[in-house]
């Protein structure tokens, strides 16, 4: 999990730091954002002080109607030694009591010119991405016709060579060898390459090649949602492989079950074309067109007709 500090928000969202510059290195430990409305009334029993605090028009209007002593009390209680920061939206004027409390406690007090809903939405998305569950898988990730295809298999089976052929056919490389995956939602997996090997492919006998340099910027992309897994394995003579496509395999990555197809590797098979077609067929299935089921229905009708004729 990435470390997120208040200074990251200042850089990412161009917030104006009004006070509390001593605390910009404070860490944010949760993606939850608090809007301390009840706290403005003086009830701090369940105040989530470890969260980023956001004050909108409603909270600031109530705060400004309080007496001076109450404003000083609320501001002092809002600014604790663990509060990572306070964001005020709509570019509103900041009361002196809040500025002084933030300065004394070292709590970054930041100002945004945008509406509250927009600010809280962007901050939440940013923090959810940073705190998303994370793992790494040995494989290759390629964007094929808009489908994020994760190619897996044992070392030396031909994953990188297949990815190179797919790139030559106009598809885009996301990651080779190691794919970093984060779960941004309960059913959404986003894959990207480690910075050290971004845009690079390792081809045995040839070495490391830079895909973006050789094929252009259109041959790579930084990240892609993973929706299909293709597992390459060496052909086993005695193993029965699915010939109709009616069986549905899945691969569990963290909490998400991703559709998976196993493709046996043997000389003479064009893996790039097979994977390309697998991605197109997957798109058709999502659109409601399933060739395997159509064939099964046709076969059933033929069998029923033969039985009726006999």
| Tens-digit pLDDT profile for residues 243-252 | 666 678 899 9
Q: What is the pTM of this model?
A: 0.74
Q: Residue 290 class from Cβ within 10 Å (0-12 exposed, 13-18 middle, 19+ buried)?
A: middle
pLDDT reported for residue 229: 96
Q: Which of 3, 243, 252, 306 is catalytic?
A: 243
To the query of whether residue 57 is one of the catalytic residues in this protein, the response is: no
Q: Does residue 34 register a pLDDT over 80? A: yes
- Here the tokens at position 163 are 């990815």
Which of 112, 128, 141, 99 is closest to 10 using CA atoms? 112
Q: Which of 74, 159, 171, 172 is catalytic?
A: 159
At 163, is the secondary structure helix, strand, or coil?
helix
To the query of whether residue 177 is one of the catalytic residues in this protein, the response is: yes
Task: Give the chain's radius of gyration (CA, Å).
Answer: 27
Q: Quick one: what percent of the chain has pLDDT higher than 90?
A: 74
* 134-166 per-position pLDDT tens digit: 899 999 999 999 999 999 999 889 899 999 999
pLDDT reported for residue 94: 94
Which of 126, 100, 124, 107 is closest to 34 using CA atoms? 124
- Here the tokens at position 76 are 């002092």
306 — pLDDT class (breaks 50, 70, 90):
confident
Q: Do 297 and 247 touch, CB atoms closer than 8 A?
A: no
Q: Do 265 and 158 touch, CB atoms closer than 8 A?
A: yes
Which residue ranges are tagged as binding site for ATP? 153-160
**End-to-end Cα spacing for the chain:** 67
* 206-256 per-position pLDDT tens digit: 899 999 999 999 999 999 999 999 999 988 877 777 666 667 889 999 989
To the query of whether residue 32 is one of the catalytic residues in this protein, the response is: no
For strands 178-185 and 33-34, give the pairing. Answer: unpaired
Which residue ranges are tagged as binding site for Mg(2+)? 160, 202
pLDDT reported for residue 187: 87
* Count of CB atoms situated within 10 Å of the CB of 118: 11
* Count of CB atoms situated within 10 Å of the CB of 200: 20
For strands 33-34 and 52-55, give the pairing. Answer: parallel
At 4, is the secondary structure helix, strand, or coil?
strand
pLDDT reported for residue 204: 86
Which residue ranges are tagged as binding site? 153-160, 202
Handedness of CA 218, 222, 228, 234 (dihedral sign): positive
Q: Which of 138, 269, 298, 301 is catalytic?
A: 138
For residue 209, give every residue at least 6 positions away whose Cβ sits within 8 Å of its Cβ, in sequence order, or none.
Answer: 164, 200, 201, 203
For strands 223-225 and 109-111, give the pairing. Answer: unpaired
Please give the Cα distance from 292 to 298 (Å, whole number): 10
Q: What domains appear along the chain, each with residue ranges and CATH number?
A: 4-130 (3.40.1390.20), 134-290 (3.40.50.300)
* 183-214 per-position pLDDT tens digit: 988 889 999 999 999 999 999 888 999 999 99
pLDDT reported for residue 305: 81
CA angle 18, 24, 26 (to 5 degrees): 140
To the query of whether residue 199 is one of the catalytic residues in this protein, the response is: no
269 — pLDDT class (breaks 50, 70, 90):
confident
14 — pLDDT class (breaks 50, 70, 90):
confident
């Amino acid at each position: 999990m990435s470390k997120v500090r208040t200074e990251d928000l200042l850089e990412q969202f161009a917030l104006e730091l009004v006070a509390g510059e001593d605390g910009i290195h404070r860490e944010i430990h949760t993606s939850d954002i608090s809007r301390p409305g009840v706290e403005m009334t003086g009830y701090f029993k369940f105040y989530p002080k470890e969260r980023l605090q956001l004050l909108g028009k409603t909270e600031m209007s109530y705060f400004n109607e309080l007496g001076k002593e109450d404003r000083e009390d609320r501001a002092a209680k809002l600014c604790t030694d663990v509060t990572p920061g306070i964001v005020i939206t709509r570019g509103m004027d900041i009361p002196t009591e809040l500025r002084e409390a933030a300065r004394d406690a070292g709590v970054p007090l930041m100002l945004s010119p945008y509406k509250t809903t927009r600010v809280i939405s962007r901050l939440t998305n940013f923090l959810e991405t940073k705190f998303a569950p994370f793992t790494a898988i040995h494989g290759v990730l390629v964007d094929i016709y808009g489908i994020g295809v994760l190619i897996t298999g044992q070392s030396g089976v031909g994953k990188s060579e297949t990815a190179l052929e797919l790139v030559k056919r106009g598809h885009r490389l996301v990651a080779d060898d190691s794919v970093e995956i984060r779960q941004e939602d309960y059913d959404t997996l986003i894959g990207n390459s480690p910075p050290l090997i971004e845009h690079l492919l390792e081809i045995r006998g040839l070495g490391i090649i830079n895909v973006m340099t050789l094929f252009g910027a259109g041959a790579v992309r930084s990240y892609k949602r993973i929706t299909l897994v293709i597992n390459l394995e060496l052909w086993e003579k005695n193993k029965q492989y699915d010939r109709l496509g009616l069986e549905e395999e899945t691969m569990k990555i963290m909490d998400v079950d991703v559709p998976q197809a196993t493709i046996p590797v043997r000389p003479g098979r064009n893996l790039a074309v097979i994977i390309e077609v697998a991605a197109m067929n997957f798109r058709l299935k999502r659109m409601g067109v399933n060739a395997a089921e159509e064939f099964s229905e046709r076969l059933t009708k033929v069998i029923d007709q033969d039985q009726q004729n006999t």
